[in-house]
Amino acid sequence: MAEVIPGIYQLKLPLPVPHTSLGYVNTYLVRGDDGYLLVDTGWNTGEAFTSLQKQLAEIDVDIKDITQIVVTHIHPDHYGLSGRLKQMSRAKLLLHRLDKNLIKSRYVNMDKLLRQTNQWLQSNGVPPDELSELRTASVGMAKYVATESPDITLSGGETITTGVFSFQVLWTPGHSPGHICLYEPDRKILISGDHVLTTITPNVGLHPQSSENPLGDYVNSLNKISQLDVDLILPGHETPFTGLQARIEQTLQHHELRNKEILATLAAGPKTAYQIVKDMSWQSDTGNAGWQNLPPVHKRLAILEILSHLKAMIIDGRVDKSFRDGVIFYRQT
Ligand SMILES: [Zn+2]
Ligand SMILES: [Zn+2]
């Protein structure tokens, strides 16, 4: 464990074996006057829990000393353990309103979401023999999430004060509808969740629970934080880094390159989103995997990611869509 700046510790929690592509999730422990604030929590696994306890013990902190838990977004690697920690510590849990609204449909009763996802994938050209595998790809994740409702529902614009730190809550939708970052203007620190990462780019997908134009939201959210005076970024994965503007610029360029790659696959004529993803390049843990070698959960993320690009390009006029037998086809305008 590292004290990244005086009063803020970076803890690394392991991710479950089937989901190792990111290695670990960072949680940040902030020292207050009367207890600690924890930002993000890791998956609800025995391994992550033991690892958290062990790292806290290194600085003589107990789970019961945590008085506030801020979750940057609803994904299992950030929200998963929060329910269990809250029950043990009686800490107050803080989460954005839009992600709070997804707790039940994602992790408690998934039937409606599964039906919607099935329809979504089918209308985007996923063939029947792959449909069931892709539809249920993330069902297993629910067991790694101890759900608990937030005590304080955030909207963005709040200030969370603890010890010498005063964090501004910045609503940064895109990767998740209710994603937030925490900005400490005096110390010039940004706790960025999955919004900006050191070398990788977060998945931004269009799906039944996303906003109308998540990639557009994501780009706006990047622009929103690009003018902040920041010396150090504390991301949800990988390592803390400097140079926020440059990293945002690279991330924006990456998305524009993906747009161009999608347009290139449409040069030969209209395609479904499923046909487009098969023509694209895909990276996985083992390098350039190619579509067929991606695990089902990544295949689904890939389709949703392409859809978010297509939606953004419909809005800016580069692409349009038409229906044929209930299936959506995209083409260059
Ligand atoms: Zn995430
Ligand atoms: Zn994450």
Dist. CA 181 → ligand 1 center (Å): 12
Which one of the ligands is nearest to 175 CA? 1
Please name the helix (run of DSSP H) or strand (run of DSSP E) that holds residue 84, with its range, or none: helix 82-89
Q: What is the distance in A from the centroid of ligand 1 to the CA of 195? A: 8
Share of the chain above pLDDT 90, in %: 84
| Long-range contacts, stretch 180-188, CB < 8 angstroms, 24+ apart | 180/70, 180/72, 180/73, 180/96, 180/154, 180/156, 181/72, 181/225, 182/39, 182/70, 182/72, 183/225, 183/228, 183/230, 185/228, 185/229, 187/5, 187/231, 188/229, 188/230, 188/231, 188/232
- From ligand 1's centre to the CA of 332, what distance in Å? 31
Binned at pLDDT 50, 70 and 90, residue 125 comes out as: very high
What is the model's pLDDT at position 271?
Answer: 98
CA of 43 to the centre of ligand 2 (A): 10
pTM greater than 0.75:
yes
pLDDT band at 102, cuts 50/70/90?
very high
Residue 219 neighbours by CB distance under 10 Å: 19
For residues 330 and 266, the answer to whether their CB atoms sit within 8 Å is: yes
Q: In the structure encoding, which two tokens stand for residue 174, read together?
A: 């895109």
Report pLDDT digits (tens) over 196-240. 999 999 999 999 999 999 999 999 999 999 999 999 999 999 999
Query: Among all ligands shown, which has an atom nearest to the Cα of 99?
Result: 1
What pLDDT score does 179 carry? 98
Question: How far does the centroid of ligand 2 lie from the alpha carbon of residue 298, in Å?
Answer: 14
Q: What is the CA radius of gyration of the chain?
A: 20
Ligand number, closest to the Cα atom of 40: 2
pLDDT at 286 over 90: no
Predicted local confidence at residue 241, as pLDDT: 98
pLDDT per residue over 150-191, tens digit each? 999 999 999 999 999 999 999 999 999 999 999 999 999 999
The residue ranking higher by pLDDT, 1 or 148, is: 148
Q: Sorting pLDDT into bands at 50, 70 and 90, what band is 16? A: confident
Q: pLDDT at position 25, please?
A: 94
User: For residue 320, what is the enclosing H or E element?
Assistant: strand 319-324
Nearest listed ligand to the Cα of residue 13: 2
Confidence category of residue 282, pLDDT binned at 50, 70, 90: confident
Q: Among all ligands shown, which has an atom nearest to the Cα of 22?
A: 2
Strands 24-31 vs 159-162: parallel, antiparallel or unpaired? unpaired
Q: Would you give the distance in Å from CA 303 to the centre of its chain?
A: 16
What's the 127 CA to ligand 2 centre distance in angstroms?
29
- Dihedral angle over CA of 263, 268, 274, 276, nearest 10: -30
Q: How far is ligand 2, taken at its centre, from the CA of residue 175, in Å?
A: 9
pLDDT one-digit tens code per residue, 48-87 = 999 999 999 999 999 999 999 999 999 999 999 999 999 9
The mean-pLDDT minimum among 28-32, 279-283, 315-319 falls in 279-283
Q: State the distance from the centre of ligand 1 to the C-alpha of 149, rounded, in angstroms.
A: 18
Judged by DSSP in three states, 194 sits in coil
**Average pLDDT over every residue of 299-312:** 96
Average pLDDT of the chain? 93
Cβ-count burial 252-265 (b if 16+ within 10 Å, e if not):
beebeebbeebbeb
What confidence score (pLDDT) does residue 1 get? Answer: 80
Which pLDDT score is estimated for 137? 82
CA of 24 to the centre of ligand 1 (A): 12
Taking the centre of ligand 2 as the mean of its atom positions, its distance from the CA of residue 178, in whole angstroms, is 14
* pLDDT at residue 9 is higher than 60: yes
The rounded Å distance from CA 13 to ligand 2 centre is: 11
Question: If you measure from the C-alpha of residue 236 to the centroid of ligand 2, how many angstroms do you get, rounded to a whole number?
Answer: 6
Ligand nearest to the CA of 203: 1
Which residues fall inside 5 Å of ion ligand 2, going by CB?
77, 194, 236
Ligand 2 centroid to Cα of residue 329, in Å, is: 31
What length does the chain have? Answer: 333
pLDDT band at 284 (very low <50, low <70, confident <90, very high): low
Ligand with minimal distance to 74 CA: 1
CA distances from 159 to 88, 170, 272 (A): 25, 9, 45
Report pLDDT for 292: 81
State in Å: Cα 73 to ligand 1 middle: 7
pLDDT band per the 50, 70, 90 thresholds, residue 139: confident
Ligand nearest 23 Cα, by number? 2
Residue 333 alpha carbon to ligand 1 centre in Å: 33
CB 78 within 8 A of CB 71: yes
281 pLDDT exceeds 90?
no
* pLDDT for the residue 141: 81
End-to-end, the C-alpha distance of the chain in Å comes to 52
- Give the phi and the psi of residue 119 in degrees, each rounded to 5: -60, -40
Ligand 1 mean position to 164 CA, how many Å?
28
